[in-house]
Amino acid sequence: MVKRRDFIKWAGGAGISLTAAGWSLLAAADGKRGTATVAAGVPTGTGIKGRVVVIGGGMAGATAAKYLRYWGGTGVDVTLVERDTSYTSNIMSNLVLNGSRTVTSLQYGYGNLASRYGVKVVKGDVTAIDPVGRAVTLAGGSRLAYDRLVVAPGVDFDLLPGLETAAAQAKAPHAWKTGPQTTALRNMITAMPNGGVFVLSIPPKPYRCPPGPYERACLVADWLKRNRPGSKVIVLDANPGITAEVHSFTDAFDVVHQGVIEYHPGVAIASVDTTTMTVNTNIGNIRGNVLNLIPPHRAGKVIAANGLADAGGKWTSVDVLSYEATVAPGIHVIGDAAATTQPKAGHIANQEAKVCADAILRLLSGRLPDAAPQTNSACYSPITADTASWLTATFAYDPLTKTMQPVAASSGEAAARSKDNFEEMTKWFTALMADSFA
Ligand SMILES: Cc1cc2nc3c(=O)[nH]c(=O)nc-3n(C[C@H](O)[C@H](O)[C@H](O)COP(=O)(O)OP(=O)(O)OC[C@H]3O[C@@H](n4cnc5c(N)ncnc54)[C@H](O)[C@@H]3O)c2cc1C
């Protein structure tokens, strides 16, 4: 039976990889002097040396940068390159749409990574990776050399036909990366009339946060029910059925939000016309007051631009013992950009980052990566403004398939939505973000 409180605890802990103290002991066992660490600090005596560059300061990249220093010590030179000055969390961003959160409340700076762990934070956009010369080039032309590279750029989106221009995109925002589109979508919802129609489309798998679009449908329906009577949420799902938390969302669509949410599986979008606010699909032309169309995903563009998109032309296949790219030795790809059997989720990105950091530190010390990593994931899904369901999963390395496989005994979803779950969601989120950014 899953104990969901464990996931709150694990999010704030060290996952399955070695702790800083563990790395010091490892160094001591080698005859090198192990050095005790303070809680938020960097050990000095691990004996590990190397230069690691991390591309992308999101859930995966920030965690990897922090733990490379926290476990690896002062001999590991870590540079984090991020194009934005702060990170805006996607997790919890659906709560901006019902007015219970702001985008600003979801922002996290990089000051702690620099001051507490000595990560060198560089604001910049990596455009080129030179796997032979072991260096990356930033948009301004500067180069950073590395011994090991971690690439964590998250996702980019494919354009839906009809949404090629910025003007069309502004009329049908996906808001699947928190920012100005999220605020714009919130404003569109509040501008809806009574009896209005909100159209939400869900892309084919894999996409980031499998339960996320269904959660969004619930939160928008819940707000409309109370504030714009007679309105509807039409969900156009490219997948053959609900992709996550089937029990919770079936109940939410059929019972909690009955008559408000209209769910259509297996929908292919042929084109979008933002002048008439119409989505042309295989089940007919659907008109809405608001079009919230989440496009198909691919790894952040630095992946394909540098020959790393070997999985379906969109993602990077990796060895999940180290997250080293199959096609590029010395380059590790983590988070949403990696093709693994685990979901594309922030909690999993945090876990992959720790396994990867641990593996890099072992490799830099002439060891092999841990042969039996485990990861875990939790996801809380608000169903109304004050109740939530949850989904948890644990994954263990399967040496036969060389993949991470779910452990049935510790995976599952909530029996029912509750206010208690909603409160735990906030604790889980705070612990997860602190583990990555504080
Ligand atoms: C609405 C919504 C709700 C969600 N809810 C949950 C949830 O409840 N639980 C959960 O676990 N997950 C959730 N997720 C998923 C989660 O946000 C992602 O899976 C997670 O952010 C992936 O982490 P990442 O580090 O791979 O990518 P990101 O967090 O997107 O970070 C990528 C970073 O890389 C930077 N970058 C990209 N390219 C470059 C470059 N070339 N140079 C420099 N910087 C670059 C970007 O600016 C960005 O900061 C949700 C997602 C959405 C959209």
Q: Which of 295, 310, 340 is the last residue of a domain?
A: 295
Q: Are residues 80 and 185 in the same domain?
A: no
Q: Whose CA is nearest to atom 41 of ligand 1?
A: 126
- Ligand 1 center to residue 349 CA distance, Å? 8
Q: Are residues 43 and 100 in the same domain?
A: yes
Q: Is the pLDDT of residue 10 over 90?
A: no
Confidence of residue 40 (pLDDT cuts 50, 70, 90): low
Q: Are residues 251 and 326 in the same domain?
A: no
Give a yes or no: residue 376 inside a domain. no
Q: Which atom of ligand 1 is nearest to the CA of 348?
A: 11
Which residue, 285, 229, 290, 231, is CA-closest to 262? 231
Which of 7-16, 162-171, 323-332 has the least mean pLDDT? 7-16
> Nearest 5 degrees, angle CA 410-CA 411-CA 413?
130
pLDDT single digits (tens) 169-202: 999 999 999 999 999 999 999 999 999 999 999 9
Q: Whose CA is nearest to atom 6 of ligand 1?
A: 91
Give a yes or no: residue 362 inside a domain. yes
Q: How far apart are CA 62 and CA 338, in angstroms?
A: 16
Q: Which of 251, 272, 295 is the last residue of a domain?
A: 295
Q: Are residues 271 and 203 in the same domain?
A: yes
Q: Is the pLDDT of residue 14 over 60?
A: no
Q: Is the pLDDT of residue 18 over 80?
A: no
Confidence of residue 410 (pLDDT cuts 50, 70, 90): confident
- Ligand 1 center to residue 3 CA distance, Å? 26
The SS3 of residue 296 is coil
Give, for 156, the enclosing helix (H) or strand (E).
strand 155-157
- Ligand 1 center to residue 297 CA distance, Å? 12
Confidence of residue 72 (pLDDT cuts 50, 70, 90): very high
Q: What is the mean pLDDT of residues 378-394?
A: 95
Using the Cα atoms of residue 23, residue 24, residue 28 and residue 32 in order, give the sign of their dihedral.
positive
Q: Which atom of ligand 1 is nearest to the CA of 349?
A: 23
Which of 23-37, 82-96, 372-386 has the least mean pLDDT? 23-37
Q: What global pTM score does this model have?
A: 0.93
Q: Are residues 19 and 148 in the same domain?
A: yes
Q: Which of 371, 400, 427 is the last residue of a domain?
A: 371
Q: What is the pLDDT of residue 13?
A: 39
- Ligand 1 center to residue 360 CA distance, Å? 22
Q: Whose CA is nearest to atom 29 of ligand 1?
A: 58
* Crossing angle for the helix pair 212-227 and 180-190, to the nearest 10 degrees: 30
Which residue, 161, 162, 173, is CA-closest to 290? 173
**C-beta of residue 216 within 8 angstroms of C-beta of residue 256:** no
Confidence of residue 41 (pLDDT cuts 50, 70, 90): confident
Q: Are residues 147 and 164 in the same domain?
A: no
Q: Are residues 207 and 73 in the same domain?
A: no
Domain that holds residue 205: 159-295
Number of domains making up the chain: 2
* Crossing angle for the helix pair 346-364 and 4-12, to the nearest 10 degrees: 50
- Ligand 1 center to residue 433 CA distance, Å? 12
How would you classify the pairing of strands 316-319 and 261-264? unpaired
Q: What is the mean pLDDT of residues 59-79?
A: 98
Q: Is the pLDDT of residue 290 over 50?
A: yes
Q: Are residues 287 and 347 in the same domain?
A: no
Q: Is the pLDDT of residue 23 over 90?
A: no
Average per-residue pLDDT in the chain?
92
Confidence of residue 21 (pLDDT cuts 50, 70, 90): very low
Task: Report the residue count for the chain.
Answer: 438
**Residues with C-beta less than 6 Å from any ligand 1 atom:** 55-61, 81-84, 87, 90-91, 93-94, 125-126, 152-154, 176, 208-209, 212, 300, 302, 335-337, 344-347, 349, 379
Q: Are residues 37 and 121 in the same domain?
A: yes
Q: Whose CA is nearest to atom 16 of ligand 1?
A: 346
Q: Are residues 204 and 106 in the same domain?
A: no
- Ligand 1 center to residue 173 CA distance, Å? 17
Residue to mutate (ligand 1; options 92, 120, 122, 209; most atoms within 8 A of CB)? 209
Cα–Cα distance list, 305 to 300, 309, 366 (Å) = 9, 8, 31
Residue to mutate (ligand 1; options 67, 91, 137; most atoms within 8 A of CB)? 91
Q: Whose CA is nearest to atom 5 of ligand 1?
A: 91
In the chain, pLDDT over 70 holds for what percent of residues?
A: 91
Q: Is the pLDDT of residue 349 over 70?
A: yes
CATH classification of the domain holding 177: 3.50.50.60
